[in-house]
Structure formats: C-alpha cells, structure tokens
Amino acid sequence: MLLRRLWTWPATVVLGAVLHVRHALYDRGLLKRVRPSVPTIAIGNLALGGTGKTPMLELVVRILADVRPLATLSRGYGRRTSGIMEVRPSDSAERTGDEPLQVKHHFADVRVFVGADRVEAIAHIVRAVPGVRAVVLDDALQHRHLDPGLSILLTTWQRPFDSDALFPAGKLRDLRSRAHKADVVVVTKCPDEPGGIVAAEQRRRLRLKEGQALFFAGITYARPHWSDGRSGEVPTGASVRALLFTGIADPGPLLTHVRSLWGRVDHRSFPDHHPYSTADKRALAGHFSTFAPGPKVLITTEKDAARLGPLPAGDPLYGLPIAVIGMQAFIHHEPERFAALIRDHVAPHPAHR
C-alpha cells in the first residue's frame, strides 16, 4: 500500500489540485449552484464505490412510504443510452442501468429517473410528475451545480474516508474535507451496533462538525429466492454447495453471509456494474458444472440479476438453479431520529405546483 501511494503520488497531487480549484470556484460563487424548488435528498460518498448508496436510497424511500408522488434520480451507470428518461419495470439494465431498474422493481409506485445532469433532470421530473413531493438522488454529492436540500454522506466501517487517500494512491474520488459539507454522515456496513464510546471516537476520528448528524448502518440479508420466480425454497445447509458470482464494488460482506448458509462456497468476482457477456456466462456455467459434486446452486445479487435479465432458451445459464439474495440497509442506533431527519426535510415543503 505504501509503495503504491509513493509511485502514484504525482497523479494524486494533480487530481487534488484540480478538485481544490473546482470546489473553490463553486464555494466563492464563481460557478453557479442551483437549489431546486422541490425537496431534494442527495446520497453520496467520497470513495469510488462500495459504500452502499443504493441500499441507503431504498431505506430513505421506505421511510417516505406515505410521501407520494416521490421520485428518485441517478445517473444510470452502465446504461447504453443517454439523456433523461423514466425507468419502466419492463426496461433492461442496458437501457436504464442496473441499480435504477432494481429500485423500480422494489417500489412500483415510485417514479424512477436516470440522467447525468442532475439539475436538468430534476427540472424534467418537476414537469413530468405534477405535485412531486421530493426527489431522492443516488450518487449526487460530486455534482456541485446542484445544491441539495439535505445531503447524506456514506463511508464504510471497514475503510472510512479519513484513512483513505485520493485516487490513484487510494480509493477517494473527492477531497476528505468535503465531508464537512454533508448534513448527515452514515458509517455503513457496520458488523455490530457500536456503543456510545465507539460512536464518540468515530465522530472525533472523522472530525465532524457539531451540527453534523452521525449514524451507523448495517446490512440485513433476505432469504435467497429463485431468480426465475419458480416456487419452493432455495436449499441451504452444510451439504449444499454454492457458486457465488458478483459484479459489485465490495462483495466481502455478502461473501461472509453466503459462507454462513452453504457448506462450500466458490466465488467468481467481476468488476462493479459488469455487463455479463456470453463468454462470461459460459465460463460460469462451466465452473458450476465441475466445482463440486452433490446438490449445488448459483447465487448472485439483485443488482447482478437485473443485468442478467430474463434468460432465453439457449443462454449458457438457462435452466441452471440461480438464486438471488436481496439486502437492505438499516440504522443501528436511533433509527427514529434518522427517519425524523428525512421526514422533517420533506414535510415543511408544500407539493410543487
């Protein structure tokens, strides 16, 4: 790690200088920021990925279960389209991106949009969704042109931003000092509920300001279910083998969970948002056919399943026992206070006319 930071330091210094200049231009008003008329809740991070932004967005949407019309907005990373569009349940991940499609499948009554220009996209949403009560944004904290009403910064328990460095020396894409601008900081993927002393130490370590709220979040996993909708339980236990395949930024917590459910687990890891090619699927099918005798299943995430889509006859994975494990974020301590912050931000605002 030290050697990597040394030889990548010049590029890191250049990135840091560019970010300092960019933020200074916005902070001094030389570049314009726009506060939308509709309440906005922006969820983001300083790292390149793997902090759990989509599970946190879904948690916020669940908190706002009685706030309708409600919209979400993300870039739609990995999609092969451009511009601003609304996500439909029948869409493919190639058209919308995997995470927005997952959100739409989970919340049929929420209007889900994708668009790279967040300010322009929010203006489009206001026109397209009369009376929209709020827009929840995934991965929006680096979009300085947008001035969100409430900003939530995520950092992981395993790799908090204070112990990381800018890319390429580390995995940060933005300055650590930007954390001071967030209204709420959430430490995600906590293995256990931290006690008061640990929480206070984390606040000191992250150098949060007095007015910044700090929360700790964990992950809960749903029971595995068949990806093709077939009935019956997915077999688990020491006598069953599982081949896990993931295209997510941080598969570590999921891998630990999967190993608690099955006797033997092999893992094939792909890059985040990986588009599975026929060759990839053929390799997975070959691995699955030979890696272990006896009863066995293929396991993946909802995000990966969205990219796979319905498997047609003749697909290398067609007919194989593929199961999906969903996950949800939850707040360890004071979940009611976290929910109140979200709801209080939306409640004072009248519906947009």
Compute the average pLDDT of residues 11-38.
96
pLDDT digits (tens, 9 = 90+) for 177-226: 999 999 999 999 998 888 888 889 999 999 999 999 999 999 999 999 99
| pLDDT tier for residue 351 given thresholds of 50, 70 and 90 | very low
| pLDDT tier for residue 292 given thresholds of 50, 70 and 90 | confident
**Domain residue ranges in the chain:** 2-220+330-346, 225-325
Task: Answer yes or no: is pLDDT of 261 > 70.
Answer: yes
Compute the average pLDDT of residues 321-341.
96
Compute the average pLDDT of residues 42-66.
96
pLDDT of residue 4: 64
Give the containing element (helix H, strand E) for 267: strand 262-269
Task: Answer yes or no: is pLDDT of 119 > 60.
Answer: yes
- Rounded to whole angstroms, how far apart are CA atoms 264 and 240? 7
Domain 2-220+330-346 -> CATH class: alpha beta
59: left (phi over 0), alpha (psi -120 to 50) or beta: alpha
Compute the average pLDDT of residues 76-86.
94
For 309, phi then psi, to 5°, come to 65, -175
pLDDT of residue 352: 43
| pLDDT tier for residue 1 given thresholds of 50, 70 and 90 | low
pLDDT digits (tens, 9 = 90+) for 133-165: 999 999 999 999 999 999 999 999 999 999 999
Q: What is the pTM of this model?
A: 0.93
Compute the average pLDDT of residues 307-326.
96
- Rounded to whole angstroms, how far apart are CA atoms 38 and 131? 9
Mean pLDDT of the chain, nearest integer = 94
Q: Residue 253: which residues within 8 A CB-CB, separation 6 or more?
A: 189, 219
Instruction: Mark 273-296 as b/e (b = at least 16 C-beta within 10 Å).
Output: bbebeeebbeebbeebeeebeeeb
| pLDDT tier for residue 353 given thresholds of 50, 70 and 90 | very low
CATH topology of 2-220+330-346 equal to that of 225-325?
A: yes
Task: Answer yes or no: is pLDDT of 350 > 60.
Answer: no
Sheet of 327-331: strands edge to edge?
85-86, 111-114, 70-74, 134-138, 40-45, 150-156, 184-188, 213-221, 327-331
Task: Answer yes or no: is pLDDT of 2 > 70.
Answer: no
What share of the chain in percent tops pLDDT 70? 97
Contact status, residue 72 vs residue 112, Cβ threshold 8 Å: yes
Check residue 336 and report its DSSP letter: H
Task: Answer yes or no: is pLDDT of 88 > 60.
Answer: yes
Q: Residue 2: which residues within 8 A CB-CB, separation 6 or more?
A: none
| pLDDT tier for residue 7 given thresholds of 50, 70 and 90 | confident
Q: Which CATH architecture has domain 225-325?
A: 3-Layer(aba) Sandwich (3.40)
